[in-house]
């Protein structure tokens, strides 16, 4: 496993991060979830990403149990705050001081740890003053309950404003967690340039486009049983944008390119995002341990320029790169 610095800091994380969105506490039984975490550790992965909103706090609990007994100093544990948790009352979401403080203490308990390595604002809160949010993060850092602060799916302007306030309060934003893959490149136009300017790295999610880039969805054939495209709990909705014959046909054409690189389709997709020097780590998810080992094979891989050009030629206009098409799920009001 190779390691990279996260943002303009001395904090090193593994190039591959194991994440448990849509799996632990919901789609995958706890025993299988523990086996996936063990596979991640065996592959040299030391960085783990979760959020309190995943499976309404259950995902954090499962991860905490799975990591119990491991040397804490050898791990980097990330979680997030914003989404509605618990009974989903009027103060159970957002980035108010009240919610951040209560959410942080809940996450610490569920993760069975004294501190969170990276605490992330899961979305931008349009109702809470940013000064209030940043002050709450600053206080958690000074209390030693949070070591570093990041955000997720913030725009370039939001990153600039947040970074400036953080600096005034004596800490720094070091990361942003956006969606990024061969098919979804919207961060390249504005977010990545702003992040380089600010000393912020990307912690990218969905590098295999919710499984589409594995090539398992073949045009004209039935969907694989148990796949995300057949999950009516939310997975099918997430993957719907890619389930078009023209996109799936182009993905099938990536197979010889993966073979040329000596990688599986999934590992090629993960390696592709890691070629961006502003990406510190790629988050992978898994429902089976063997998937972890497959994806982790992308660590340390260098894809030659000619191979990258072939990928671009194959995918063509299937690639989404327009920032206007980003999916910002932050509610503009608390009722949204």
Delimit the domains of the chain by residue range.
11-212+273-300+322-327
Eight-class DSSP state of 140: H
pLDDT at 232: 64
| pLDDT at position 328 over 60 | no
Q: Which residue blocks in 43-176 are alpha helix, DSSP H?
A: 58-67, 97-111, 130-142, 156-168
| pLDDT at position 327 over 50 | no
Instruction: Average the pLDDT over 160-174 and give the result.
Output: 97
Superfamily of segment(s) 11-212+273-300+322-327: NADP-dependent oxidoreductase domain (3.20.20.100)
Can 54 be counted among the known catalytic residues? yes
Cα distance between residue 149 and residue 155, in whole Å = 16
Cα distance between residue 176 and residue 150, in whole Å = 6
Residues 6+ apart with CB under 8 A from 20: 33, 48, 49, 50, 54, 59, 62, 63, 285
Q: How confident is the model at residue 202 (pLDDT cuts 50, 70, 90)?
A: very high
The least confident of 37-46, 123-132, 174-183, 237-246 is: 237-246
219-240 tens-digit pLDDT? 877 766 655 655 666 566 777 7
Cα distance between residue 150 and residue 127, in whole Å = 19
| pLDDT at position 286 over 90 | no
Burial of 325 from C-beta contacts in 10 A (0-12 / 13-18 / 19+): exposed
- Residue 301's CB: how many other CB atoms inside 10 A? 18
The pair phi, psi for residue 294, each rounded to 5°, is -60, -50
Q: Long-range contacts made by residues 299-302, C-beta under 8 angstroms, separation at least 24?
A: 299/1, 299/2, 299/14, 299/15, 299/16, 299/44, 299/274, 300/1, 300/2, 300/15, 301/261, 301/263, 301/267, 301/271, 301/274, 302/275
| pLDDT at position 329 over 80 | no
Residue with tokens 């004294």: 114
Task: Report helix angle 30-42 to 58-67, nearest 10.
Answer: 50
Cα distance between residue 266 and residue 296, in whole Å = 10
Cα distance between residue 283 and residue 161, in whole Å = 26
Comparing C-alpha atoms, which of 211, 219, 212 is closest to residue 22?
A: 211
Give percent above pLDDT 70 in the chain. 89
- Contact between residue 3 and residue 45 where contact means Cβ atoms under 8 Å apart: no
Comparing C-alpha atoms, which of 59, 66, 52, 54 is closest to residue 100?
A: 52
98-135 tens-digit pLDDT? 999 999 999 999 999 999 999 999 999 999 999 999 99
Residues 6+ apart with CB under 8 A from 327: 179
pLDDT at 205: 96
Instruction: Average the pLDDT over 34-43 and give the result.
Output: 94
List the catalytic residue out of 54, 119, 148, 180.
54
pLDDT at 63: 95
- Contact between residue 283 and residue 178 where contact means Cβ atoms under 8 Å apart: no
Give percent above pLDDT 90 in the chain. 77
- Where residue 25 falls (left for φ over 0; alpha for ψ -120 to 50; beta otherwise) is left
């Amino acid at each position: 496993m190779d390691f990279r610095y996260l943002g303009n800091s001395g904090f090193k994380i593994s190039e591959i991060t194991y994440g448990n969105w849509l799996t632990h506490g919901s789609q995958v039984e706890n025993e299988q979830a523990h086996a996936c975490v063990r596979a991640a550790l065996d592959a040299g992965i030391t960085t783990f990403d979760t959020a309190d909103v995943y499976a309404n706090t259950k995902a954090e609990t499962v991860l905490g149990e799975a990591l119990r007994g491991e040397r804490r100093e050898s791990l980097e544990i990330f979680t997030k705050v914003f989404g509605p948790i618990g009974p989903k009352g009027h103060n159970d979401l957002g980035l108010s001081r009240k919610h951040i403080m209560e959410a942080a203490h809940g996450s610490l308990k569920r993760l069975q740890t004294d501190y969170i390595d990276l605490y992330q604002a899961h979305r931008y809160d349009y109702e809470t003053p940013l000064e209030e949010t940043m002050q709450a993060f600053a206080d958690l850092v000074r209390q030693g309950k949070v070591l570093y602060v990041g955000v997720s799916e913030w725009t370039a302007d939001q990153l600039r404003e947040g970074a400036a306030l953080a600096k005034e309060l004596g800490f720094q934003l070091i990361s942003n967690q956006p969606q990024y893959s061969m098919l979804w490149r919207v961060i390249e136009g504005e977010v990545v340039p702003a992040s380089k300017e600010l000393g912020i790295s990307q912690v990218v999610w969905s590098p295999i486009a919710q499984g589409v880039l594995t090539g398992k969805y073949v045009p004209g054939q039935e969907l694989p049983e148990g796949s995300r495209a057949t999950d009516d709990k939310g997975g099918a909705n997430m993957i719907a944008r890619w389930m078009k014959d023209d996109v799936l046909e182009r993905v099938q054409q990536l197979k010889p390119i993966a073979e040329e690189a000596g990688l599986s389709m999934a590992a090629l997709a993960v390696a592709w995002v890691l070629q961006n020097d502003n990406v510190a780590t790629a988050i992978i998810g898994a429902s089976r341990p063997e998937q972890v080992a497959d994806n982790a094979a992308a660590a340390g891989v260098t894809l030659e320029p000619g191979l990258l050009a072939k990928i671009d030629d194959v995918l063509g206009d299937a690639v989404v790169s327009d920032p206007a098409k980003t999916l910002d799920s932050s509610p503009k009001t608390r009722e949204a």
